[in-house]
Chains A and B, each alone.
Chain A
Amino acid sequence: MESHTHPHIHRDDQASKLGMWLFIFTEILLFGGLFIVYSIYRYMHQTAFHLAGEELNDTIGTINTVILLVSSMTIAMSITAMQKGNLKLVMQLIYVTVFFGLIFLVNKYFEWQVKFEHGLYPSSKFVQNLGAGDTLFFSLYFMMTGLHALHIIVGLTVLIWVAVYIKKGRVHQTKYAFLENGALYWHLVDLIWIFLFPLFYLIH
């Protein structure tokens, strides 16, 4: 842990984490902008958004929320395990997190498939006939949850990458900034969903 044991290797974990936070801020503002767009259109098309929101499946939304919250906890625990030097537990916790992430995506797939079967997809004839409010609602719904799902895929890739590095011994008890940053990204995905879920699924 002491820097004088490796005098020639420059490493700055704090700067690395600071960089990750700066990136997270850009992500917060990206989704934040979309939340504002959603709120304004909701304000302008209240009835349409109200009715369109009832089309969404609350149950599947709630299940996915629980999955993401639990996965957020498991990846947070992996850092405690890493600090205690329990590498086996770290790996198990990463695998569990990745597993939950995959389940989230599978749920999302089935959710969207049902929507597509009912003719609910961006710019479909069916949605366009419902009017401007519904068109906006479903475009925003697919765009925002789609962008979020993309973040899940990226998050999973990063976590698998971290797992490979741990296996190779490049991330370990005294050098785990990569694990911390990967975990931060995964929490960001959770954070965004915390707002997406009530906005789209619950508020009618």
Chain B
Amino acid sequence: MSEEKQHITPYATYIWILAALLILTFATVAITNVNLGPLSVTTAMLIASIKATLVLLYFMHLKFDQKIYRFMTTVVLLVFFMVIIFTFFDYLFR
């Protein structure tokens, strides 16, 4: 494999992503302060996952890099979610 033509992410993209990340952070703080009970855990984790996806895709360049990195990351995350699901099945139904 020879050198791929490189993708240069504009500075503005990073600023927009940071803005989104900050807004989501303050949204989580606000939402968890309201205290929605068990819903607040779900919401907080959902927002954290969106933030993590933004960091992975833009800051870590998964969106622009070769597909192999994105593919491997997806597989690792799927394995991790399966472990979570199996563990909780064990604890919730024993």
**Residues on A close to B: CB < 8 A?**
1-3, 14, 17-18, 21-22, 25, 28-29, 32, 36, 39-40, 43-44, 58, 62, 65-66, 69-70, 72-73, 76-77, 79-80, 83-84, 184, 187, 190-191, 194-195, 197-199, 202-204
Contacts and interface: CB of A to CB of B under 8 A. Distances in A.
Nearest to A76: B59
Given A21-B72, A194-B52, A70 B18 contact: yes
Contacts of B29: 58, 62, 202
Interface of B: 1-3, 6, 8-11, 14-15, 17-18, 21-22, 25-26, 28-29, 32, 35, 40-41, 44-45, 47-48, 51-52, 55-56, 58-61, 65-66, 68-69, 72-73, 76-77, 80, 83-84, 87-88, 91
A21 B69 contact: yes
Contacts, number: 107
Contacts of A40: 87-88, 91
Contacts of B47: 198
B3 A3 contact: yes
A204 B2 contact: no
Contacts of B3: 1-3
Contacts of B56: 191
B28 A25 contact: no
Given A3-B3, A73-B59, A194-B51, A17 B14 contact: no
A194 B44 contact: no
B62 to A, nearest CB: 9
Nearest to B92: A43
A195 B22 contact: no
Contacts of A25: 72-73, 76
